A = this chain, B = another copy of it.
Amino acid sequence: VLRAAIGLVDEGGIESLSMRRLGRALGVEAMALYNHVANKDEILDGIVDLVLSEVDLNPEAASWDEAMRASAISAHDVLLRHPWACGLILSPTTIRVIPARLRYMESILGRLTEAGLSAALTYHGYHALDSHILGFTLWEVGHTIDAGNQPDFVATFLRDLGGDQPYLAEHIRQHLDSSRRDGVSEFEFALDLILDGLRRIGSESPNSAGGPPEGA
C-alpha cells in the first residue's frame, strides 16, 4: 500500500506524489485510495514512519556517546537514502505524530539521561543532536548538486560569482575537489563538535549547563 508511495517518491521526488498518480501506479482509479486511507496526509505520515523505522536505534557501542554517534550516523544514512523525508519531517505545516519518530526521540533522550547528564544538559543536548541530524541532513540534501550531472551549472555559477564572493567561490571549488576527502564527512564533523561539547560540560560541571528547568 504505502510501499508503492515510497517507490514513487524515491525516484520522482516528493512533488510527484499525487493521489491520481499514485492510483495510476497501482493500476487503480485514484479515488479508490480513499477506501484504504483517510487522506493524503495519512499517506505522508505513513511513508515517513516506514522510513524512520529503518534507523538503528540500538547499535552496539562501548559508551553512550559512541552509541549516540552510531545511531545518528544510521539516521543520517537512512535520510540520505530517502532525500524527501527530512523535508517532510521538518515541514512546518502540520505537527505530525509518527510512532517511529517518537521512538527515536525517546531513544536520544533516554541515552542522554541514563548517561548521567543533568536534566539541563539532556534538555539542550537533545535539541542540539536532533536538530543537527534532521537540519544538517536537509541542508545537505538541498545543497548537494549532482556535480557530475550538470557540470556547466556549477561552472557558470562560479563565473557569475565573479569577484564579489571570492571565499564562496573557493569553498565551492573545495567541494568539487572531493577526491581528497578522508572519510570524516561534514555531517560527522559537527556531530563530534556537539558530542565533544556535551561530554566536556558533563564531566566538568555536571549540573551547570545553564538554562532550562531542572524538571523532575
Contact = CB atoms under 8 A, between A and B. Distances in A.
Interface of A: 13-15, 83-84, 87, 89-93, 95, 97, 102-103, 105-106, 109-110, 113, 119, 122-124, 126-128, 130-132, 134-136, 138-143, 145, 157, 160-161, 164-168, 170-171, 173-174, 177-182, 184, 186, 189-190, 193-194, 196-198, 209-213, 215-216
A87 to B, nearest CB: 6
A139 B101 CA distance: 14
Contacts of A93: 13-15
Given A91-B142, A167-B110, A194 B184 contact: no
27 contacts: A14-B93, A83-B92, A90-B142, A95-B142, A95-B145, A102-B165, A102-B168, A109-B171, A113-B167, A119-B174, A122-B171, A127-B136, A127-B186, A127-B189, A127-B190, A128-B190, A131-B139, A131-B140, A135-B136, A170-B216, A173-B215, A174-B213, A174-B215, A181-B212, A184-B211, A190-B194, A193-B194
Contacts of A178: 213
A193 B130 CA distance: 14
Given A140-B131, A190-B131, A193-B197, A168 B87 contact: no
